[in-house]
Amino acid sequence: MTTSFKSNPNNFIKTRRNIWTNFDWGLMLAIAILTTIGIAMIRSSTFQHPNLFDTPIKQIQYALVGAILIIILASIDYRYWQSLSKPLYILIIITLSVLFVAGVVAGGAQRWFDFFGLFFVQPSELAKIGSVIWIANFFAIRKKNLNDFKWVLLSILHAGLPAALVMAQPDLSSAIMIIIVWISIIWAAEIRIKHLAILSTISVSSLPFLWFIMEQYQRNRVINFINPQNDPGAQYNVRQAIISIGSGGWFGQGYNQASQVQLRFLKVRHTDFIFSATAAEFGFVGALIIMLLFVFITWRILRIGNNAQDPFGSYLCYGMAIMIFAQAFFNIGMNLNLLPVIGLPLPFFSYGGSALLTLCIGLGIVQSVAVRQKQYES
């Protein structure tokens, strides 16, 4: 027989204490190490830069706010977000639509809202976290009906609308992340192999259409990646990234000592190409540690998903784990010239407030799943 809070308040306190014993401190430690090294590299990458001198301080502020968000969201039952899935989806769609009218244009893309010059918000980052929630909910409530292919097809429209709006900004990298979240959750939902084969055929068949709707500069990046001699100047920063990585050797040139970084040959070294800057200063060993941290973080989140109390919790964790891993994979591959440049930051590491805070929101929800793993077994 269940004892209520009114009849036994000590039982309530004990329950709350037991919840926090399941908090994944190993995951938090890995995130803290990654973020701390990232802040150190942002400082080194922007050292004595007249326009970027305050970026390390800003990133510290974002990290502190992010830590608070993780604690707050971990204390909220993750199933609360399931009830808000539809309103959240509608809000994200409206926000992404309004962006085309009221958004700020920078670098040829309309991706940000400017709040009176105090701070900028990038809705596509919120859309990536939102996509984890609403796609997880979509498949969780239809888990017993997924043998019917119409629900699988409907999920394409469900994920495709926000992805298309993000793509139109244009923001190809964020659109790709939303689709990857959909793929990861649809795989976790264990749909029929026949349906997976049909989806694979549709995906491959749609590639020519994707090429057609891409912006010219995006197509040029792919062309220059395949054939660097097509436009040698366009590959300047990729070459500098490779030189930076190679110059680090086994143990690097030392913190704040890498010539490619300090002499500013390497561009956007505090955002998209911060991995190359890290390899230059800390060498192969330092770069390997960063990659292993991402593997560890992915494993811990997948582990939480495997132990979740319900499909919604599992799908939330699977979506977050694969999104973080895929983003790191694309960024590092881009730095190594193994993939075309698509403008993805390194999670928890590159400079950027919107990216870091939305990742912390996702991590807080993951921790909410973790702390409730054992709560409903007793």
pLDDT at 78 over 50: yes
Highest mean pLDDT among 24-38, 89-103, 113-127: 24-38
Asked whether residue 320 carries a pLDDT value surpassing 90, the answer given is yes
Per-residue pLDDT at 64: 97
pLDDT at 114 exceeding the cut of 80: no
Q: How confident is the model at residue 350 (pLDDT cuts 50, 70, 90)?
A: very high
Segment 61-69 mean pLDDT: 96
Higher pLDDT, 50 or 129: 129
In this prediction, residue 51 carries a pLDDT of 81
Residue 327 lies in a domain: yes
Assigned domain for 117 exists: yes
Q: Is the pLDDT of residue 376 over 60?
A: no
pTM score, whole prediction = 0.88
Q: How far apart are CA 91 and CA 21, in angstroms?
A: 35
* pLDDT for the residue 262: 85
What's at 89, amino acid-wise? Y
* Residue 378: pLDDT over 50: no
**Which residue range forms the structural domain that includes residue 351?**
22-371
Instruction: Quick: pLDDT tens for 247-281.
Output: 999 999 999 888 888 888 888 888 999 999 999 99
Q: Which of 198-202, 236-240, 317-321 has the highest mean pLDDT?
A: 317-321
pLDDT at 311: 92
Query: In the prediction, which pLDDT does 115 show?
Result: 65
Buried/exposed 164-203: b ≥16 CB within 10 Å, e otherwise: ebbbbbbbbbbbbbbbbbbbbbbebbebeeebeeebeeee
Q: What is the pLDDT of residues 150-165, one digit of tens each?
A: 888 888 888 888 888 8
Q: What is the predicted pLDDT for the residue at 118?
A: 60
Residue 14 placed within a domain: no
Tell whether 9 is covered by a domain: no
**pLDDT at position 346 over 60:** yes
Of the pLDDT bands very low, low, confident and very high (cuts 50, 70, 90), residue 145 is confident
- 3 state SS of 114: strand
- The verdict on residue 175 lying in a domain is yes
Residue 164 CA to chain centroid, in angstroms? 18
Task: Tell me how many domains the chain contains.
Answer: 1
- Percent pLDDT > 70 in the chain is 89
pLDDT at 106 (0 to 100): 62
Distance CA 113, CA 123 (A): 8
Please tell me the predicted confidence (pLDDT) of residue 102: 72
- Has residue 17 been placed in a domain? no
State the pLDDT at residue 290: 96
Predicted pLDDT at 105: 64
pLDDT reported for residue 70: 96
Mean pLDDT of 199-218: 79
Q: How far is CA 171 from CA 217, 288, 351, 372, in A?
A: 12, 29, 18, 36
pLDDT number for residue 283: 94
Query: Two tokens at 336?
Result: 């190594």
Domain presence at residue 291: yes
* Residue 199 within any structural domain of the chain: yes
Residue 110's pLDDT is: 58
